[in-house]
Structure 1
Amino acid sequence: MKVTINDVAKYAGVSIKTVSRVTNHEPQVKQSTIDKVNAAIKALDYQPNQSARNLASSSSYVIGFVYDNPNAYYIIDMQNGILNACREQGYELLIHPCDASSSDICQELTALVMHTQFAGLVLTPPLSENPQVLAALDAIGTQYVRIIAASELDQQIVANGLQVLVNDKVGAIAITEHLIQLGHQRIAFISGDPEHQSTKERMDGFLEALAHHQLTTYPEYLIDGQYNFESGVAGANRLLSLSPAPTAIVACNDEIAAGALFAARLAGVAIPKQISIVGFEDSPFSRQTWPKLTTVHQPNQAIAKLATCNLINKCRRREHLDGQMFIPKPILRDSTAVPID
């Protein structure tokens, strides 16, 4: 027979309301009471009924993850980080992929929120950087947290939105500095999708590092691309056909870098002896190539977990951080070396 909340209350010697307060992680419950209730839950193997819990409460215990990103590794890391926070705090996770470029994206998301009882949404780029989407969510009073690429807090957003920042610009400066310190002067850049703020932040960091060392920015070395393997292949082929060709390539993410490395090897170009290649994000792509990629580590699971914890705390009217910044850091592997010319 299924264990009920009544059984837990009786076993722990407390009221049903107290069990509910503990399972809902409400504040101002004594630690000794929490321990007693949790011991009863464990002993009886009690599983709260999520649907009944939502119906019985004016609050929701469902977090929505809304995204549009072609990078499966990024999405998996985000899902795992959000899920870790949800499990720790008694929430469920609903995942909603979508097309951020769709003309009716605002209507799609408002309809989703209106028909689903959410506590709040976790938004990742490019949705988290779309002012029309944010305005539509604000208009129906949705709680959300934005994960965005930025070097400072966005003071222009409405008060409703929490922010967790990833300082891609600093990460791009650091990885470009690494190449410059090795002696590279002809350094190229393959960008990601233009609608992502991370593309701009990473290119800005790259250009700032070159300017700081008074190195020439060659227009033909700045290649437009998308966050995929094919862009890396096409961009590297274009760069390798130039005379002189660059001695190093900064790719806007690891998938692009893996494509660039693949193209260089097919062309018979030795890596890193003849050309150095670096990526960004430290995804599994960076460790699956040969040689393994020097890259910039971005702790996506930790970023997602912090964002979700702040969102849940805001929903529960607890203390939360309106903005916290992550600084990506270089990871040096085998794809970079001193240039031979």
Structure 2
Amino acid sequence: MKTTITDVAKAAGVSIKTVSRVINNEPSVRQPTREKVMTAVKSLNYQPNLAARNLAGTKSYSIAFIYDNPNAYYVIDMQNGILEACKKQGFELLIHPCRAKSENLLEEITDMIKHSRIAGLVLTPPFSEMPEFVEHILTLDIEVVRIMSGDIAPDDIAPCIMVNDHEAALSITQHLVDLGHKNIAFIAGEAEHMSTVERLRGYKKALKDNGIELDTQLIVNGEYSFESGVQGAKQLMAKENKPSAIFCCNDEIAAGALFAARLLGINIPEQLSIAGFENSPFSRQTWPRLTTAHQPNPKIAEDAAKLLIAKSRKQQAKSIVTHYTPQLIVRDSTSNIT
């Protein structure tokens, strides 16, 4: 027979209402009582029916994550981080892929919100970087937390978890400069993404700080894809003024650039250094492994979800990091210029 909330209340010696308050993480329960209830929950293996709870009350115990990102590793990291927060807080997660450039985007998301009774949305790029979209979502009386690239929030429309791509890109470029490289190329992601803008800005700043003149011919526009890295590297290595190092806007691009170098018979890192960004599985599955910047996407997503849930409960957010700077990881794909 399935364990009920009544069984938990009896085992803990408290009322059903108290058990409900503990399960919902309400702050009005004393710690000793909370511990007794949670001990009973674990010993009885009690599983709350979250769907029934959503339907029965006025509160919503679900949040949603919408995304439009071709990078499967990034999406999975975000999902896992948000799910971790949901499990700890007794919430469910609705995952809704959609197209940012769809003509029916507002209608699609509005319908999803109205039919799903969610408490809020976690937004990643490009949605988090669309102010008019965010403002529309807020008119639907739900909470929003954005994950964005930059050192400070661009506005106060909705709370943000900021990722300082600029500072991390500066560190990667500085690492290449310290190895003796001056002809450093840059393969960009999509221009409309702030991560591309910030990483390019960090690259340019490092060159300027070291007195290296910017050569725009070494900057290649691209996309966040393996194919873009292949094409970009081939384009760069066909130039008369070949780079000795390439900084790629993410690890997937860098993996493509490394593949192209192999096709061209170029040894990595002896003849060409390549660096990526994000520390995704791409950076560890290539040979040689990629120098990159570690971006803790699951933790970033978990903090975004924790902040969103706290806001939906009108609670003060605690122990939540709202500013991350990806950290340089030096591996075998970069070396001193020869």
Q: TM-score, normalised by structure 2?
A: 0.97
Contact residue 303 and residue 321 of structure 2 kept, 8 A: no
User: Which residue identity lines up with residue 31 of structure 1 in the other structure?
Assistant: Q
Partners of 1:142 and 1:60 in 2: how far apart? Answer: 10
Partners of 2:210 and 2:37 in 1: how far apart? Answer: 62
1:231 aligns with 2:247: no
Alignment of 1:1-341 (within 5 A): 1-154=1-154, 156-158=155-157, 161-320=158-317, 324-340=322-338
SS of equivalent to 1:189: strand
Partners of 1:218 and 1:104 in 2: how far apart? Answer: 41
CA distances 1:81-128 after superposition (whole Å, capped 9, x unpaired): 101100011111110111111122122111111111111111100111
User: Which residue identity lines up with residue 284 of structure 2 in the other structure?
Assistant: R
CA distances 1:13-49 after superposition (whole Å, capped 9, x unpaired): 1111001001111002111111111122222221111
Alpha-carbon shift at residue 323 of structure 1 (Å): 7.7
Partners of 2:31 and 2:133 in 1: how far apart? Answer: 41
Segment of structure 1 superposing worse, 61-70 or 36-45: 36-45
Contact residue 149 and residue 194 of structure 2 kept, 8 A: yes
Contact residue 124 and residue 148 of structure 1 kept, 8 A: yes
Partners of 2:228 and 2:4 in 1: how far apart? Answer: 55
Contact residue 106 and residue 132 of structure 1 kept, 8 A: no
Partners of 1:117 and 1:87 in 2: how far apart? Answer: 18
Partners of 1:257 and 1:43 in 2: how far apart? Answer: 49
CA distances 1:225-282 after superposition (whole Å, capped 9, x unpaired): 0000000000000000001200000000000000000000110001111110000000
Contact residue 171 and residue 330 of structure 1 kept, 8 A: yes
SS of equivalent to 1:10: helix
Partners of 1:265 and 1:289 in 2: how far apart? Answer: 12
Contact residue 163 and residue 323 of structure 1 kept, 8 A: no
Structure 2 gap segments, 5+ residues each:
none
RMSD of Structure 2 on Structure 1 (CA) = 1.2
Segment of structure 1 superposing worse, 208-217 or 174-183: 208-217
Q: TM-score, normalised by structure 1?
A: 0.96
Structure 1 gap segments, 5+ residues each:
none
Partners of 2:43 and 2:278 in 1: how far apart? Answer: 43
CA distances 1:144-176 after superposition (whole Å, capped 9, x unpaired): 10000012122x342xx1100000000000000
Alpha-carbon shift at residue 56 of structure 1 (Å): 2.4
Number of aligned pairs? 337
